[in-house]
Amino acid sequence: MKRSALVCGAGGFIGSHLVKRLKRENYWVRGVDLKLPPFAETQADDFIVADLRDSAACGRAIDRQYDEVYQLAADMGGAGYVFTGENDAEIMRNSAAINLNVLSSCQERGIGRVFYSSSACVYPVHNQLDPNNPFCSEQSAYPAAPDSEYGWEKLFSERLFLAFNKNHSMNNRVARYHNIFGPEGAWQGGREKAPAAVCRKVAMASDGGEIEIWGDGNQTRSFLFIDECIEGTLRLMQSGFAGPLNIGSDEMVTINQLVDMVCEIAGKTLHKNHISGPIGVRGRNSDNALIEQKLSWRPSLKLYAGLEQTYDWIERQVQRETNQSAA
Protein backbone atom coordinates (compact mmCIF):
# COMPACT_ATOMS: atom_id res chain seq x y z
CA MET A 1 0.00 0.00 0.00
CA LYS A 2 1.10 3.60 -0.65
CA ARG A 3 2.61 5.38 2.31
CA SER A 4 0.81 8.56 3.32
CA ALA A 5 2.21 11.85 4.56
CA LEU A 6 0.84 15.14 5.80
CA VAL A 7 2.95 18.25 5.19
CA CYS A 8 2.03 21.19 7.45
CA GLY A 9 3.33 24.37 5.84
CA ALA A 10 3.00 22.88 2.35
CA GLY A 11 2.37 26.33 0.87
CA GLY A 12 5.78 27.50 2.07
CA PHE A 13 9.25 27.25 0.62
CA ILE A 14 10.56 24.04 2.20
CA GLY A 15 7.11 22.43 2.52
CA SER A 16 6.31 22.79 -1.19
CA HIS A 17 9.65 21.23 -2.16
CA LEU A 18 9.08 18.43 0.36
CA VAL A 19 5.68 17.68 -1.20
CA LYS A 20 7.34 17.34 -4.62
CA ARG A 21 9.95 14.96 -3.27
CA LEU A 22 7.41 12.82 -1.38
CA LYS A 23 5.36 12.54 -4.58
CA ARG A 24 8.48 11.35 -6.42
CA GLU A 25 8.86 8.75 -3.65
CA ASN A 26 5.30 7.61 -4.44
CA TYR A 27 3.60 8.82 -1.23
CA TRP A 28 -0.03 9.92 -1.03
CA VAL A 29 0.38 13.48 0.24
CA ARG A 30 -1.92 16.00 1.85
CA GLY A 31 -0.70 19.55 2.28
CA VAL A 32 -2.07 22.08 4.72
CA ASP A 33 -1.27 25.77 4.94
CA LEU A 34 -2.81 29.23 5.19
CA LYS A 35 -2.06 29.58 1.50
CA LEU A 36 -1.27 27.62 -1.65
CA PRO A 37 2.35 27.73 -2.85
CA PRO A 38 2.79 31.11 -4.57
CA PHE A 39 5.23 30.13 -7.33
CA ALA A 40 4.10 26.75 -8.67
CA GLU A 41 1.04 24.58 -8.45
CA THR A 42 1.10 22.20 -5.49
CA GLN A 43 1.78 18.58 -6.32
CA ALA A 44 -0.05 17.35 -3.22
CA ASP A 45 -2.91 14.89 -3.84
CA ASP A 46 -5.02 16.95 -1.50
CA PHE A 47 -4.50 20.46 -0.14
CA ILE A 48 -6.38 22.04 2.73
CA VAL A 49 -6.24 25.79 3.24
CA ALA A 50 -6.53 26.12 7.02
CA ASP A 51 -5.18 27.96 10.02
CA LEU A 52 -3.35 25.48 12.24
CA ARG A 53 -3.60 27.86 15.22
CA ASP A 54 -7.24 26.81 15.28
CA SER A 55 -7.36 23.43 17.03
CA ALA A 56 -10.63 22.38 15.31
CA ALA A 57 -9.20 23.18 11.85
CA CYS A 58 -6.02 21.33 12.78
CA GLY A 59 -8.09 18.31 13.83
CA ARG A 60 -9.87 18.34 10.44
CA ALA A 61 -6.51 18.24 8.62
CA ILE A 62 -5.26 15.48 10.92
CA ASP A 63 -8.35 13.32 10.52
CA ARG A 64 -6.60 10.03 9.79
CA GLN A 65 -3.57 7.91 10.54
CA TYR A 66 -0.78 9.26 8.32
CA ASP A 67 2.40 7.21 8.21
CA GLU A 68 4.39 10.40 8.56
CA VAL A 69 3.65 14.02 9.46
CA TYR A 70 6.04 16.87 8.66
CA GLN A 71 5.43 19.97 10.79
CA LEU A 72 7.00 22.92 8.95
CA ALA A 73 4.29 25.54 9.44
CA ALA A 74 5.60 28.56 11.35
CA ASP A 75 5.38 32.32 11.51
CA MET A 76 8.65 32.79 9.76
CA GLY A 77 10.85 35.22 7.85
CA GLY A 78 14.36 36.47 7.24
CA ALA A 79 16.34 38.89 9.42
CA GLY A 80 14.07 41.80 8.47
CA TYR A 81 11.13 39.95 10.05
CA VAL A 82 12.68 37.93 12.88
CA PHE A 83 15.44 40.17 14.24
CA THR A 84 13.81 43.60 14.45
CA GLY A 85 11.82 42.66 17.57
CA GLU A 86 8.64 44.10 16.07
CA ASN A 87 7.03 40.71 15.48
CA ASP A 88 8.20 38.79 18.57
CA ALA A 89 4.86 38.31 20.32
CA GLU A 90 3.12 37.12 17.15
CA ILE A 91 5.99 34.83 16.17
CA MET A 92 5.95 33.13 19.57
CA ARG A 93 2.20 32.91 19.94
CA ASN A 94 1.49 31.72 16.39
CA SER A 95 4.21 29.12 16.12
CA ALA A 96 3.72 27.70 19.62
CA ALA A 97 -0.04 27.38 18.99
CA ILE A 98 0.57 25.54 15.71
CA ASN A 99 3.04 23.13 17.32
CA LEU A 100 0.77 22.39 20.29
CA ASN A 101 -2.23 21.76 18.04
CA VAL A 102 -0.38 19.58 15.53
CA LEU A 103 1.16 17.40 18.24
CA SER A 104 -2.09 17.00 20.16
CA SER A 105 -4.02 16.04 17.02
CA CYS A 106 -1.32 13.55 16.02
CA GLN A 107 -1.33 12.00 19.47
CA GLU A 108 -5.13 11.70 19.40
CA ARG A 109 -4.94 9.92 16.02
CA GLY A 110 -2.20 7.58 17.20
CA ILE A 111 0.30 8.96 14.70
CA GLY A 112 3.74 7.84 15.82
CA ARG A 113 6.21 9.92 13.85
CA VAL A 114 6.18 13.67 13.40
CA PHE A 115 9.08 15.65 11.95
CA TYR A 116 9.71 19.08 13.45
CA SER A 117 11.82 21.79 11.78
CA SER A 118 13.72 23.72 14.40
CA SER A 119 16.44 26.20 13.56
CA ALA A 120 20.07 27.19 14.03
CA CYS A 121 18.57 30.26 15.72
CA VAL A 122 18.44 28.20 18.95
CA TYR A 123 22.21 28.47 19.44
CA PRO A 124 23.55 30.85 22.10
CA VAL A 125 24.76 34.27 21.04
CA HIS A 126 27.99 33.96 23.08
CA ASN A 127 29.17 31.05 20.90
CA GLN A 128 28.66 33.09 17.73
CA LEU A 129 30.57 36.29 18.44
CA ASP A 130 33.72 35.37 16.52
CA PRO A 131 32.85 35.28 12.81
CA ASN A 132 35.73 32.88 12.12
CA ASN A 133 34.97 30.37 14.89
CA PRO A 134 31.25 30.02 15.55
CA PHE A 135 30.40 26.99 17.68
CA CYS A 136 27.10 25.29 16.83
CA SER A 137 27.37 21.64 17.82
CA GLU A 138 24.02 20.25 18.92
CA GLN A 139 24.83 20.03 22.64
CA SER A 140 26.05 23.65 22.70
CA ALA A 141 22.42 24.86 22.64
CA TYR A 142 22.46 24.66 26.47
CA PRO A 143 22.73 26.68 28.67
CA ALA A 144 20.32 28.42 26.33
CA ALA A 145 20.75 32.00 25.12
CA PRO A 146 19.28 32.42 21.62
CA ASP A 147 19.45 35.96 20.19
CA SER A 148 15.79 36.06 19.09
CA GLU A 149 12.38 35.15 20.47
CA TYR A 150 11.99 33.07 17.31
CA GLY A 151 14.92 30.97 18.61
CA TRP A 152 13.39 30.65 22.08
CA GLU A 153 10.10 29.43 20.63
CA LYS A 154 12.00 26.87 18.56
CA LEU A 155 13.79 25.60 21.68
CA PHE A 156 10.50 25.28 23.53
CA SER A 157 8.93 23.39 20.63
CA GLU A 158 11.91 21.06 20.21
CA ARG A 159 11.47 20.11 23.84
CA LEU A 160 7.72 19.72 23.32
CA PHE A 161 8.20 17.22 20.46
CA LEU A 162 10.78 15.26 22.46
CA ALA A 163 8.59 15.33 25.60
CA PHE A 164 5.81 13.67 23.58
CA ASN A 165 8.32 10.94 22.67
CA LYS A 166 9.02 10.39 26.35
CA ASN A 167 5.52 10.64 27.79
CA HIS A 168 3.28 9.58 24.90
CA SER A 169 5.38 6.89 23.20
CA MET A 170 5.79 8.93 20.04
CA ASN A 171 8.80 8.67 17.75
CA ASN A 172 9.21 12.29 16.66
CA ARG A 173 12.24 13.70 14.86
CA VAL A 174 13.75 17.15 15.39
CA ALA A 175 16.08 18.89 12.92
CA ARG A 176 17.80 22.25 13.24
CA TYR A 177 17.88 23.77 9.76
CA HIS A 178 20.64 26.25 8.92
CA ASN A 179 19.70 28.92 6.31
CA ILE A 180 17.97 27.00 3.55
CA PHE A 181 17.84 28.58 0.11
CA GLY A 182 16.84 27.80 -3.46
CA PRO A 183 14.29 28.48 -6.19
CA GLU A 184 10.64 29.08 -5.30
CA GLY A 185 11.39 30.75 -1.96
CA ALA A 186 10.43 34.25 -0.81
CA TRP A 187 12.58 36.71 -2.76
CA GLN A 188 10.98 40.06 -1.95
CA GLY A 189 8.51 41.62 0.47
CA GLY A 190 10.47 41.46 3.74
CA ARG A 191 10.41 37.75 4.60
CA GLU A 192 13.18 36.75 2.19
CA LYS A 193 16.54 35.61 3.51
CA ALA A 194 20.06 36.73 2.62
CA PRO A 195 20.75 34.56 -0.49
CA ALA A 196 17.42 35.49 -2.09
CA ALA A 197 17.75 39.16 -1.14
CA VAL A 198 21.28 39.32 -2.57
CA CYS A 199 20.21 37.55 -5.79
CA ARG A 200 17.31 40.01 -6.19
CA LYS A 201 19.50 43.06 -5.56
CA VAL A 202 22.15 41.84 -8.01
CA ALA A 203 19.53 40.96 -10.64
CA MET A 204 18.00 44.45 -10.35
CA ALA A 205 21.31 46.35 -10.41
CA SER A 206 22.95 47.58 -13.59
CA ASP A 207 26.49 46.43 -14.24
CA GLY A 208 28.87 48.94 -12.62
CA GLY A 209 26.20 50.13 -10.17
CA GLU A 210 25.92 49.42 -6.44
CA ILE A 211 23.93 47.31 -4.02
CA GLU A 212 23.09 47.82 -0.37
CA ILE A 213 24.32 45.27 2.19
CA TRP A 214 23.15 45.18 5.82
CA GLY A 215 26.13 45.54 8.18
CA ASP A 216 29.81 45.44 7.23
CA GLY A 217 29.33 42.18 5.34
CA ASN A 218 31.99 40.42 7.45
CA GLN A 219 29.40 38.41 9.37
CA THR A 220 29.66 34.72 8.44
CA ARG A 221 26.99 32.14 7.60
CA SER A 222 26.55 28.86 5.79
CA PHE A 223 23.68 28.23 3.38
CA LEU A 224 22.12 24.89 2.49
CA PHE A 225 20.54 24.24 -0.88
CA ILE A 226 16.92 23.10 -0.70
CA ASP A 227 17.45 19.66 -2.30
CA GLU A 228 19.98 18.72 0.36
CA CYS A 229 17.68 20.01 3.10
CA ILE A 230 14.94 17.67 1.88
CA GLU A 231 17.39 14.77 1.56
CA GLY A 232 18.57 15.28 5.15
CA THR A 233 14.98 15.60 6.36
CA LEU A 234 13.93 12.27 4.84
CA ARG A 235 17.09 10.56 6.07
CA LEU A 236 16.51 11.80 9.62
CA MET A 237 12.85 10.75 9.47
CA GLN A 238 13.86 7.23 8.45
CA SER A 239 16.70 6.97 10.97
CA GLY A 240 16.64 5.69 14.54
CA PHE A 241 17.80 9.04 15.93
CA ALA A 242 15.27 11.50 17.38
CA GLY A 243 17.55 14.56 17.31
CA PRO A 244 17.96 17.47 17.61
CA LEU A 245 20.24 17.25 14.58
CA ASN A 246 21.83 20.02 12.52
CA ILE A 247 20.82 19.95 8.85
CA GLY A 248 23.08 22.55 7.31
CA SER A 249 26.10 23.18 5.17
CA ASP A 250 29.52 23.68 6.76
CA GLU A 251 30.83 25.79 3.86
CA MET A 252 31.06 29.05 5.79
CA VAL A 253 31.32 32.36 3.90
CA THR A 254 31.09 36.04 4.77
CA ILE A 255 28.11 37.94 3.40
CA ASN A 256 30.60 39.89 1.25
CA GLN A 257 31.82 36.60 -0.24
CA LEU A 258 28.22 35.57 -0.86
CA VAL A 259 27.66 38.83 -2.74
CA ASP A 260 30.86 38.30 -4.77
CA MET A 261 29.71 34.81 -5.79
CA VAL A 262 26.32 36.08 -6.95
CA CYS A 263 27.97 38.95 -8.87
CA GLU A 264 30.25 36.46 -10.59
CA ILE A 265 27.28 34.25 -11.53
CA ALA A 266 25.45 37.31 -12.88
CA GLY A 267 28.54 38.57 -14.71
CA LYS A 268 28.25 41.98 -13.02
CA THR A 269 30.70 44.21 -11.16
CA LEU A 270 28.91 46.04 -8.35
CA HIS A 271 30.00 48.34 -5.53
CA LYS A 272 28.84 47.21 -2.06
CA ASN A 273 27.22 49.98 -0.07
CA HIS A 274 27.18 48.89 3.59
CA ILE A 275 24.20 50.26 5.49
CA SER A 276 22.84 49.59 8.97
CA GLY A 277 20.21 46.86 9.25
CA PRO A 278 19.34 43.77 11.30
CA ILE A 279 22.20 41.29 10.92
CA GLY A 280 21.71 38.66 13.65
CA VAL A 281 24.71 36.90 15.15
CA ARG A 282 28.28 37.68 14.04
CA GLY A 283 29.10 34.19 12.85
CA ARG A 284 27.27 30.91 12.29
CA ASN A 285 28.16 27.60 10.68
CA SER A 286 26.66 24.15 10.81
CA ASP A 287 28.64 21.63 12.88
CA ASN A 288 28.19 18.41 10.94
CA ALA A 289 29.95 15.87 13.16
CA LEU A 290 26.70 14.45 14.58
CA ILE A 291 24.85 14.16 11.26
CA GLU A 292 27.82 12.29 9.81
CA GLN A 293 27.83 9.97 12.82
CA LYS A 294 24.06 9.37 12.99
CA LEU A 295 23.08 9.32 9.31
CA SER A 296 26.42 8.41 7.65
CA TRP A 297 25.63 11.34 5.36
CA ARG A 298 26.25 15.05 5.25
CA PRO A 299 25.38 17.81 2.78
CA SER A 300 28.09 18.23 0.16
CA LEU A 301 26.77 20.44 -2.67
CA LYS A 302 28.93 23.53 -3.15
CA LEU A 303 27.28 26.85 -2.32
CA TYR A 304 28.18 28.21 -5.75
CA ALA A 305 26.22 25.46 -7.50
CA GLY A 306 23.10 26.15 -5.44
CA LEU A 307 23.43 29.89 -6.01
CA GLU A 308 23.59 29.39 -9.79
CA GLN A 309 20.18 27.69 -9.76
CA THR A 310 18.74 30.23 -7.32
CA TYR A 311 20.02 33.27 -9.20
CA ASP A 312 18.65 31.90 -12.45
CA TRP A 313 15.17 31.55 -10.90
CA ILE A 314 15.19 34.95 -9.15
CA GLU A 315 16.48 36.74 -12.24
CA ARG A 316 13.48 35.35 -14.13
CA GLN A 317 11.10 36.60 -11.40
CA VAL A 318 12.66 40.06 -11.55
CA GLN A 319 12.38 40.12 -15.35
CA ARG A 320 8.75 39.00 -15.25
CA GLU A 321 7.83 41.75 -12.77
CA THR A 322 9.71 44.34 -14.81
CA ASN A 323 7.89 43.28 -17.98
CA GLN A 324 4.53 43.33 -16.18
CA SER A 325 5.03 46.85 -14.83
CA ALA A 326 6.20 48.05 -18.25
CA ALA A 327 3.08 46.60 -19.96
Applying CB under 6 A, the site for ligand NAD has a residue count of 25
Q: Which of 150, 177, 304, 311 is catalytic?
A: 150
Binding mask 38-57 for ligand NAD (x = CB under 6 A): -------------xxx----
Residue 68: strand pairing partners:
5
The answer to whether 249 contacts ligand NAD (rule: CB under 6 A) is no
Residue type, 228: E
Name the residue number minimizing CB distance to ligand NAD.
12
Site for ligand NAD in 293-322 (CB under 6 A): none
What binding mask, one character per residue, do residues 76-115 give for ligand NAD by CB under 6 A, x or -? Answer: x-----------------x---x-----------------
Work out whether 14 is an interface residue with ligand NAD (CB under 6 A).
Answer: yes
Please state the three-class secondary structure of 47-107 as a single string: EEECCCCCHHHHHHHCCCCCCEEEECCCCCCCHHHHCCCCCHHHHHHHHHHHHHHHHHHHH
Residue 117 interacts with ligand NAD (CB under 6 A)? Answer: yes
Q: Determine which residue in the list 9, 131, 183, 243 makes contact with ligand NAD, applying CB under 6 A.
A: 9
Length of the chain as a residue count: 327
Q: How far is CA 61 from CA 2, 4, 68, in A?
A: 19, 13, 13
Residue 311: active-site member: no
- Is there a contact between 81 and 55 (Cβ–Cβ < 8 Å)? no
Q: Binding of ligand NAD at residue 203 (CB under 6 A)?
A: no
State yes or no: residue 158 binds ligand NAD (CB under 6 A): no
Asked if the bond preceding 143 is cis, omega within 30° of 0, the reply is yes
* Residue positions annotated with a catalytic role: 150
